Amino acid sequence: MAQYKYVARDKKGKIYKGKMYASSKTLIQKKLRDQGLRALELNEIKETIWNKDIYIGNPVKTSDFVIYLRQFATLIRAGVTILEATSILIDQTRSKPLKKALTEVEMDLREGSSLSAAYGKHPKIFSSFFVNMVHAGEQSGSLDQTLENLAEYTNKQYRTKQKIKSAMTYPVVVSMIAIGIVVFLMFFVIPSFVQVFEQFGTELPAITKMVLGLSHMLVNYWWLLLFITVGMIVTIVATFRKNTSKIYLDYIILKIPILGSLYHKSVMARFTRTLGSLLGNSVPILQALSLTEKIIENQVISRVLKKSRVALEQGKSMTDPMADHWAFPELVRQMIAIGERTGSLDYMLTRIAEFYEDEVDTQADSLKAIIEPVMLVVLSVIVGTIVMAIIVPMFEMFNSINY
């Protein structure tokens, strides 16, 4: 797949310029002909370090992906073929990575590939969950509804994540401000008072000695502290990237007071929403559980789901492993059990997901309301302690001079 720059002309003589991804010049010329254009110039854009696509995290914004899914569903419902709809949406999307992937998907479709198989060649853009949902939609003949469901699922997952992020943004920002203020005071303000205190030779209060000691350590050994901090971060990241260690980190996160509860509810919402969406689109339950295990970003929950899948394979209830595990609330176990007995498991999972999504919204808003005053108090105490460490001995010196 390469990118080409073209200059083309229509039948009326109007000139068009643009760029397009394709596997060959011949395909570009064919696509231009389909649009009623004739290529005048066609040159491949060589990939260099300056124009190479480099992406961190998900290359496609959630908003762009949701728009694409809704537009695709609308076109399919209107009777437009999958190939034509894909060709139209290549020009419509604003996302460069999505545009590039869809261009390759279009080529695969022209060669007779199924839509899900074409999506499957781009795992960074289209997840295994997404591919399996599309495959189920193709098999059932309800691709338009499946795409709508995927758009709704993606949007809900994004909103839940954003709620948690917004709850954490304020304490992170305030913490950074606090660190910046403390560093400024310790490096530039406190050292200027050291000579003044030494000239008077008065006995300094304990709080002043402590602050002066910290300032001396930061000014003279900052490089050592930075080395130790970086080393600890690298060690922790390297340790918990291993699956055997990550389960302990996930366990610790779930057990953190207040924040752990919010994270726990978001994981439950993701688990039930994902599994419910898969089952609602006729994906077999064992395959749905297998996919959900991989999507859930928590090893504690994922391992229980694996046991639930094994229990189903043995003819038991999937709630048996959940009943013995603290991470699955009674509400989840009971509603899943009812769904199994009544044959409405996808419906029950969707109701659970809606409950926990509402809980995440409510708790995130409450957490923000609590964290703001607490962080302000913490910041005031830190800065106030440093200021008092300077002011108290200064008052004592002024008093001794007056007397």
Q: Is the C-alpha dihedral spanning 77, 78, 79, 81 positive or negative?
A: negative
| 21, 59, 339, 395 from 54: Cα distances, Å | 16, 9, 45, 58
Sheet holding 15-22, edge to edge: 15-22, 2-9, 38-45
Beta bridge partners of 21: 3
DSSP string covering 63-103:
HHHHHHHHHHHHHHHTT--HHHHHHHHHHH---HHHHHHHH
Number of CB atoms found within 10 A of residue 185's CB: 19
Rounded to whole angstroms, the Cα distance separating 326 from 94 reads: 45
| 59, 85, 148 from 72: Cα distances, Å | 19, 6, 9
Kindly state the greatest CA–CA separation across the chain.
Answer: 100
- Secondary structure in 3-state letters for 153-208: HHHHHHHHHHHHHHHHHHHHHHHHHHHHHHHHHHHHHHHHHHHHHHHHCCCCCHHH
Contacts of 279 (CB under 8 A, 6+ apart): 285, 288, 345, 346, 349
Residue 117 has a pLDDT of: 92
At the second CATH level, the architecture of 158-403 is: Up-down Bundle (1.20)
| 102, 282, 286, 294, 320 from 314: Cα distances, Å | 41, 21, 11, 21, 12
Contacts of 54 (CB under 8 A, 6+ apart): none
* Cβ contact 318:311 at 8 Å: yes
The CATH number of 62-155, from 1.10.540.10, 3.40.50.300, 1.20.81.30, 3.30.9.10, is 1.20.81.30
Query: Is 380 exposed, middle or buried, given 0-12, 13-18 or 19+ CB atoms closer than 10 A?
Result: exposed
* Cβ contact 21:103 at 8 Å: yes
Query: Is 282 exposed, middle or buried, given 0-12, 13-18 or 19+ CB atoms closer than 10 A?
Result: middle
Which pTM does this prediction carry?
A: 0.72
Per-residue pLDDT of the chain (403 residues; tens, 9 = 90+): 567 788 888 888 888 887 777 767 777 777 778 778 888 888 877 766 555 555 555 688 888 898 999 999 999 999 899 999 998 998 888 888 898 889 889 888 988 889 999 999 888 899 889 999 999 888 888 888 888 888 889 888 888 888 888 877 878 888 888 888 888 888 888 887 777 777 766 677 788 888 888 888 888 888 888 899 899 888 877 776 776 778 888 888 899 888 889 899 999 999 999 999 999 888 899 999 999 988 888 889 999 999 999 999 998 999 999 988 899 999 999 999 999 999 999 999 999 999 999 999 898 888 888 887 888 888 888 888 888 888 877 777 776 665 5
Rounded to whole angstroms, the Cα distance separating 299 from 285 reads: 20
* Cβ contact 133:149 at 8 Å: yes
| 62-155 and 158-403 agree in CATH topology | yes
Q: Write the DSSP symbol of residue 61.
A: -
Domain boundaries, the chain: 2-45, 62-155, 158-403
- Nearest 5°: phi and psi at 140? -90, -10
DSSP string covering 267-336:
HHHHHHHHHHHHHHTT--HHHHHHHHHHHSS-HHHHHHHHHHHHHHHTTS-TTHHHHT-TTS-HHHHHHH
Residue 192 has a pLDDT of: 79
Q: Is the C-alpha dihedral spanning 163, 168, 174, 177 positive or negative?
A: negative
* Cβ contact 138:109 at 8 Å: no
Beta bridge partners of 42: 6
Residue 202 has a pLDDT of: 66
